[in-house]
Structure formats: C-alpha cells, structure tokens
Amino acid sequence: MVAAPLQQPHQPEPRPAEPDEHPAVGPAGEPGLQAIGARRVTAREVDEAAPAETAAHSAGPYKWVVLAVAVTALTSGSIVYSGVSVLLPFWKDTYHLSAATAALAATAIQAGPITSMLIIGRAIDRYGERWVVSLTMIAMGITAFIAAAAGRNYPVLLLFILVMGAFYGSILPGGQRAITRWFEPGLRGMATGIRQAGLPIGASIAGAILPAVALHRSWTAAMVVQGVAGILGGVVFAAFHRKAGDATTSARKTPVNLRRLILGLVRDRAVRSLLIAGLALAAFQYVFSVQILIFLNDHLRIPIVTAGFMYSVAQAAGIAGRIGLAWISDRLWPGMRMRSLKWLLAFSAIPIAALSMLTPGSPRVLAYALCTLLGLLSVGWYPLYLVQVTDVAPQHAVASTISFAITLNQIIAAALPPLFGALVGATGYTVGWLFLVVILVLTAAQLHRTQAAPNPISSQTS
C-alpha cells in the first residue's frame, strides 16, 4: 500500500512541479519522494516540520556562525579521516606491505562510518546534532591518541583506525542537517559548498603537515596531531553550535523507521539513479585520494614530500570545486543538478585516461596539472550530490536519508581502493585507471537513460 504524501497545511491546491521535484507516487504506483518515509505522516510530524523551515528564514546572522562551526568541524575531522591516506606510504614502509595491504588502512577508516552512520543519523534526527557530533569527534581524537600509543602492530592499528572512522560518521549528516535547518533553500547550495570545502581543506592540511611530521619525528607523532585536531573540532562544535527554531523540537520527534525509509528510497527510479551516480563518484574520489600518493611515489618516482605537496595542491583545487561546481550548476542549469552530475561523470573520465598514460619520464608539470584537475573534480562533486540528496529527503528524516546515501558511498570507498590496489598489482596502473574510466562512463550513460525515460520524475531533471 502506498503511503500518503506529506501535505503542507492550508494549501488550497497543488502547485506545478518544479525541476528536480518529485510527486508522491512514482511510475507504476511506486512511492515517490514525498512518501519516502513509507508510512503515513502524523499531524504532529507536520507541526514539527514547520518550525524548522520557518526558523531557516528567520535565523538571522548567527547562521553564518553555525556555518563557520560546521566548516571547522569538517576540517578537523578531515585531518583525521584524510590523514590516514596521507600516512599510507609510511605504514607501507614500516610494515613492508604491498600496495593492496597498505590500502586496508584506508578501507578501515572508510568502513568505520558504515558501521555507525545510520544509527548516528537516526540519533541526530531525534536528539539534534550538537552533542552527538561534538562527543563523537572528541572520542575520535582520543582514539587517535590510543592508536599512536598502541598501534605498533598493523592489525591492531587497523582496529583503532576502524573505530576512528565509526566516530567520524557523525560529522557529515550532523553538519548537513544544521545547514538545512539554519539556511533557507535559496542559500543551501552555497552554504553546503562552503561547508563541504572543509573536507579538502582538512585533507590539504593533512597532506602538507603529516608527511613532514612523520619524516622528522614518526608516524605516531603524526597521529597525535590528528587526535588534537579531532578533539579541538568537537570542542568548537559544542561551544558554538546552536539549534534553529524550537529548542525542544528534536527531543519530541518520533524515531525514524530506517527500514521503511530505505525501501522508499530505493523503489524510486530517480533516487536509485542518483544513488548509483554517488557510488561511481565516491569510487572516483577515494581511489584517487588513496592511490595517488603511491602512484606518484612508486610509479612516477616522485619524492614522497613532493608527492605530498602535489596531493595538497589537488585538495586545494577541490576546495574551489566544492564551492564552485554547485554554484555554477545552479547558475547555468538551475534545478537540474542531475544533468550536472551526468556531465561531471563524463568529463572526469578524460583526465583519468590521461593519468593512465603517464610514465616516470613524463613532464612533472603534466602530473601537477592532472592532479589539480582531478582534485577539482574528485572532491568538488560532493556538494552538488549532497544538496540533491537533501532536497529529496523527507523533512522528518534528513539526517537519516543523508546517512543512508553516505553509507552506500562509504561501502564503495572501503571496497574499491584495495580492489584497485590488487588490480594494479596484477596488471599495472594503466589498466587500473582505465577501469575507473569505464565505471564513470557507464554511470553517466545510466544517468542519461534515467533522464530520457518518459516518466514524471525524469522529465523534471533533464
């Protein structure tokens, strides 16, 4: 039975659908995006949804403080999260590992949120983001300290990295929920892009600082730096974040039924296509992020400190991408983010194909240029995707919907780097990079087919 859609009170007649907006019932009677909760929405939930939207319009200047706090939290968390990829070459040398085995550390940090994010997202939807995010960030930093002290054995180190990743799982849904509650729809894309710039900023800081600390002191000292960053981020979030609207709203909310939410999401064709695009782009982002330092150092024979600087340049380009790509999409193709994602997928295949052709004798400037462009694209896509996911989320389950989408991405992020490393070990980097090209091209094609399909959903996104 199809659940009734969420209706706005006192609305005399339905208005025409805008681009990227979806009806309550999709093709063949499938539940549409307004019915994603897969159950009848209660009158109390309608009442609870209204204050959050009203508060976003009346938040005042403090919303910019909330945005700054969200950026700080994500930057601090990224120093911990992305710093694991930066330290891979040091663990590879310390433990005499293959590229595939070394990449298990990246798999561990990416697998951590898979174990926790749906539960954390449900807690955020019910209780609010302030203390959930701050306490888990502090716990993440403490875990980094413990890993530095006790992680002399690689399997033990992997266990602590997994726990760090589990605590990291609160930052993305919590921060995005804050943006949704504080910013009106016309500013959410821009605010999301600015907030998401915190991830490449943190990765850039990690790429610039952690290799130098690991070289001149030790990799354990670098992990202490990560722990300090995580704790500081949690303290700042607790000190300055505030709720928008009624402070008691989150405590009164009915717990989200995760099973029904997920079923409603995957039954909608347009949402499925969006989620598949997110999986491909996550594969692109994390394979590039995890493997590029090893590729530059081992395959192109570039010194590790120089390679770390190139990684930082790529992440800095990603900062511009995180802010700029969503803004450009909204300016050139307003309301057509699915179309923007399709072209981003297709265009990203070009520099990856070029990367596959590099040799140790290739000009260094070419490697810099490709790393910069790939950083722009592999990092910059995410706000565009995240705003689209947020827009299709039910009002009462924003954090849970975001958590589900991110959890799927984290599964790919955890699985693809070691598989890519194994493929590279068996065939070389040329085949590995071209395999990624095929994934992006095929995903762009399926997104195009979804747009071209003659149904009410896709016709609004083409």
Q: For residue range 389-439, what is the model confidence (pLDDT) as tens digits?
A: 887 777 777 778 888 898 898 788 778 888 898 899 899 999 999 999 999
Residue 369's pLDDT is 93
Q: Give 379's contacts (C-beta < 8 A, 6+ positions apart).
A: 199, 200, 203, 285, 314, 315, 317, 318, 319, 321, 322
**Euclidean distance between CA atoms 121 and 314, whole angstroms:** 30
Per DSSP, what are the bridge partners of residue 31? 25
From residue 249, alpha-carbon distances to 51, 81, 126, 206 in Å are 8, 32, 9, 38
Residue type, 240: F
Average pLDDT over residues 263-285: 88
**Euclidean distance between CA atoms 75 and 134, whole angstroms:** 14
CATH class of 27-460: mainly alpha
Q: How confident is the model at residue 5 (pLDDT cuts 50, 70, 90)?
A: very low
Residue 166's pLDDT is 92
Average pLDDT over residues 178-187: 78
Q: Are 252 and 48 in contact (CB under 8 A)?
A: yes
Q: Give 105's contacts (C-beta < 8 A, 6+ positions apart).
A: 84, 87, 88, 91, 157, 158, 161
Q: Give 19's contacts (C-beta < 8 A, 6+ positions apart).
A: 334, 335, 336, 460, 461
Name the pTM for this structure.
0.69
